[in-house]
Structure 1
Amino acid sequence: MDLTLIWAAIIALGILLYVVLDGFDLGTGIIYPFFPDAHERDLIMGTLAPIWDGNETWLVLGGAALFGVFPVVYSAVLSALYLPLVFMLACLILRGVSLELRSKSRRTKNLWDLAFIGGSAGATFFQGISLGAYLQGIPAQNGVFVGDAFGWLTPFSMLTGLGLVATYALLGCCWLIAKTEGDLQRRLHRMVWPLTLVLLAFIALVSIWTPLQQHNVAARWFESDWFDRMLPAPFLVVICAVLMRRAARVRRDTQPFVLALALVVLGYAGLLATIWPYAIPSSVTLWQAAAPHSTQVFTLVGAVVILPIIFAYSAFGYWVFRGKVRHDELHYH
């Protein structure tokens, strides 16, 4: 067995689960300003209260796995993206504090609402900036970052930052549609199609910009077997968008969220196809960045034990708190 590939698959899955799970609850904070009514805001918070902290487990798993199995990536990439990642964590902390203290405050509830909005949007934006900087490539020599401290701040990374904000906003909107009803749900349905169009615009811009600025990516996309494999992706994105518009018009409950997940998975698959087989794009492959075989075996034993536990308690939490959130049953005020 190629343990390097197995670990790459585990980390890739963990990142995807983080994007999906923490993505929709960060997305609720991004669209939160459009719902100023206090009762509606209590409902929105009530959909997140039981599950938001568990969603961030996958972020911790990804960081720990990188440290143990791909130390070169951990060292070089985190050094290059130190500032945006620190800003992201600060926003996540601010958001977590606001979620807990808002329920216990009276006079300062509006301030915690602002903290929730700012923390959600800020964490998302800096995640997107980090993604854009990573795609552009991390200058490294012998596994050590040799670039500028502000090399991550580029027009492309700003674009990917805004694109991730649009992605999480759509996820959050579709999540709330599945968890609410009545007038709030009807207004959320009206937001779905505009958010989908914005996301499609960002997907198109990133898809055009990436090969234009990186010739090796263009060569892979258009001059190799990857083109035939990736050709269905744009058509699948269009199909998902058409189905999303229909689901919003007929006011489906769960279908918009499923379609939003499909758009995220398609975008993520395109990302993986773009960077393969590199751990640091265009410079360090997965096998060059991997820890020794003995280390991979040792950490894999731990992963085999801990991953089923994480899956089990996450699934149990969602099962217990399934269904609609109603104000008369809400205990999170």
Structure 2
Amino acid sequence: MTADLIGVVLLLAVTAYTCAGGTDYGAGFWDLTAGGTERGRRPRWLIDHAMAPVWEVNNVWLIFVLVIMWTGFPVLFQTVFSALWLPLALAVVGMVLRGAGFAFRKPSRRLAGRRLYGAVFAIASVVTPFFLGAAVGGVASGRVTPGTDASADAWANPTSLVFGLVALATTAFLGAVFLTGDARRFDAPDLVGHFRRRALGSLAVLTVLAVVTGFVTHEDSPYVWHGLTHGLGLFFAVVAGAAAVATAWLLLRRPGAWMRVTAVAVVGSAVLAWGMAQRPYLLPTSLTVADAAGAPATLTWLAIVTLVALVFVVPAVVLLYWLDTHGELEELTDSELRGGEGPAGDGTAPGS
């Protein structure tokens, strides 16, 4: 029972990282495709302002995933990171380069430096979700089993390829939807239209890829395909489809806060559908939740620590997102810093 509970927590953590981290990766995708210096100036300005307050906190969910894997399901952790070390290593390198590129781009005073760091940030934002998706595809295909040696076949197969493309389209979709809302918040009507068109386009691509995924998994991952067409897997797949229709409808009208909710519902439901499709396996069809679980005492303490962490972390993250969406985290401009204005703009230097 405890193992099943921890398995659910692991799936929810993966879902949270897919939605929160995916939004940031999507912003990087649109940064890459924004165009040249002049054409891409406005979209990149919005991306910088939208991401700056919250982009680092999204990795909290990735840390949850890793801790739960190696503590609660050590066999799963060992198997996945042994068989899929190459795509996962490339994804980690992408995360590091992406963070460095974003952090150094804005303060860089030289145009060449900003272009270099911006390119690193944007390219890494595409590479990372693709390889993470390919690794997930390797698991879903059933090619990763206990004792599997690392090989290209474990992650360079039809299911991995289509999962990698789905991950990339998913991040682009989430990023465009959230940037549409941010453009409205920053009163930039030209960017509202810019990112709304991209949100609709990426949703169309994601829909096509979802259909392709059905055909590919039917041939290459029959267990997962069966799970996606029956029971809870089918239920969450239908919810994802309904949320996609709702998101498209909201995007075609005046964009509002609800489109973010429905967009997250699309992605979150799709991840839950995949998780339910694999039941009771963590690695279809070779490793069940019960077989992969650690010692009962370890699982009990992991459940307690997870509960305590969620009590402290979730309210803090929710507060951070609320402050960000209500414009409470705007950074001081150069003129305000040089002029010594206080937070209230009364001319009082900070700390006086």
Whether TM-score is above 0.5 comes out as yes
Q: Which residue type is aligned with residue 9 of structure 2?
A: I
How far is the alpha carbon of 1:229 from its aligned partner?
A: 4.9
Q: Could you tell me whether the CA contact under 8 Å between 1:43 and 1:326 is conserved in 2?
A: no
Cα gap change, 1:280 to 1:103, in 2 (>3 Å): same
- The 5-angstrom pairing of residues 92-241 of structure 1 reads 92-107=95-110, 108-140=113-145, 143-146=146-149, 148=151, 150-181=153-184, 182-217=189-224, 227=230, 229-233=232-236, 235-241=238-244
Q: Which residue type is aligned with residue 278 of structure 1?
A: Y
Q: Secondary structure at the match of 1:279?
A: strand
Q: What is the match of residue 27 of structure 1? A: 26
How far is the alpha carbon of 1:33 from its aligned partner?
A: 3.1
Q: What is the match of residue 48 of structure 1? A: 51
Q: What is the match of residue 12 of structure 1? A: 11
Q: Which residue type is aligned with residue 93 of structure 1?
A: V
How far is the alpha carbon of 1:328 from its aligned partner?
A: 9.9
Q: Secondary structure at the match of 2:56?
A: helix
**Residue range with higher mean Cα deviation, 229-238 or 109-118:** 229-238
Looking at structure 2, the residues matched to 259 and 128 of structure 1 have their Cα atoms a distance apart, in angstroms, of: 22
Cα gap change, 1:184 to 1:221, in 2 (>3 Å): closer
How far is the alpha carbon of 1:260 from its aligned partner?
A: 1.4
Cα gap change, 1:325 to 1:103, in 2 (>3 Å): farther
**Is 1:267 matched up with 2:270?**
yes
Cα gap change, 1:324 to 1:248, in 2 (>3 Å): farther
What is the TM-score when the length of structure 2 is the normalising length? 0.85
Cα gap change, 1:186 to 1:144, in 2 (>3 Å): same
Cα gap change, 1:194 to 1:187, in 2 (>3 Å): same
> Structure 1, residues 73-123: CA drift from partner, whole Å, max 9, x if none?
000111111000110010010110011111210221111111111111011
Cα gap change, 1:144 to 1:228, in 2 (>3 Å): closer
Looking at structure 2, the residues matched to 316 and 103 of structure 1 have their Cα atoms a distance apart, in angstroms, of: 26
**Residue range with higher mean Cα deviation, 318-327 or 3-12:** 318-327
Q: Which residue type is aligned with residue 191 of structure 1?
A: R
What is the TM-score when the length of structure 1 is the normalising length? 0.90
Q: Which residue type is aligned with residue 268 of structure 1?
A: V
Looking at structure 2, the residues matched to 162 and 325 of structure 1 have their Cα atoms a distance apart, in angstroms, of: 35
> Structure 1, residues 46-90: CA drift from partner, whole Å, max 9, x if none?
111111111011111111111111000000111111000110010
Q: Which has the larger radius of gyration?
A: 2
**Residue range with higher mean Cα deviation, 254-263 or 288-297:** 254-263
Cα gap change, 1:135 to 1:113, in 2 (>3 Å): same
Task: Give the gaps of 5 or more residues in structure 2.
Answer: 335-352
Cα gap change, 1:77 to 1:100, in 2 (>3 Å): same
Q: What is the match of residue 65 of structure 2? A: 62
Cα gap change, 1:91 to 1:147, in 2 (>3 Å): closer
Q: Secondary structure at the match of 2:282?
A: strand
How far is the alpha carbon of 1:269 from its aligned partner?
A: 2.2
Looking at structure 2, the residues matched to 215 and 110 of structure 1 have their Cα atoms a distance apart, in angstroms, of: 45
Looking at structure 2, the residues matched to 215 and 39 of structure 1 have their Cα atoms a distance apart, in angstroms, of: 46
Paired residue total:
324
Q: Could you tell me whether the CA contact under 8 Å between 2:142 and 2:221 is conserved in 1?
A: no
Query: Which of structures 1 and 2 has the larger relative contact order (alpha carbons within 8 angstroms, sep 6+)?
Result: 1
Looking at structure 1, the residues matched to 20 and 228 of structure 2 have their Cα atoms a distance apart, in angstroms, of: 30
Q: What is the match of residue 315 of structure 1? A: 318
How far is the alpha carbon of 1:178 from its aligned partner?
A: 1.4
How far is the alpha carbon of 1:212 from its aligned partner?
A: 2.1
**Is 1:278 matched up with 2:314?**
no
Q: Which residue type is aligned with residue 180 of structure 1?
A: A
Cα gap change, 1:53 to 1:229, in 2 (>3 Å): closer
Task: Give the gaps of 5 or more residues in structure 1.
Answer: none
Looking at structure 1, the residues matched to 206 and 241 of structure 2 have their Cα atoms a distance apart, in angstroms, of: 12
How far is the alpha carbon of 1:236 from its aligned partner?
A: 3.9
Q: Secondary structure at the match of 1:53?
A: coil
Looking at structure 2, the residues matched to 16 and 130 of structure 1 have their Cα atoms a distance apart, in angstroms, of: 15
**Residue range with higher mean Cα deviation, 272-281 or 145-154:** 145-154
Cα gap change, 1:238 to 1:62, in 2 (>3 Å): closer
- Measured on the aligned residues, the alpha-carbon RMSD in Å equals 2.3
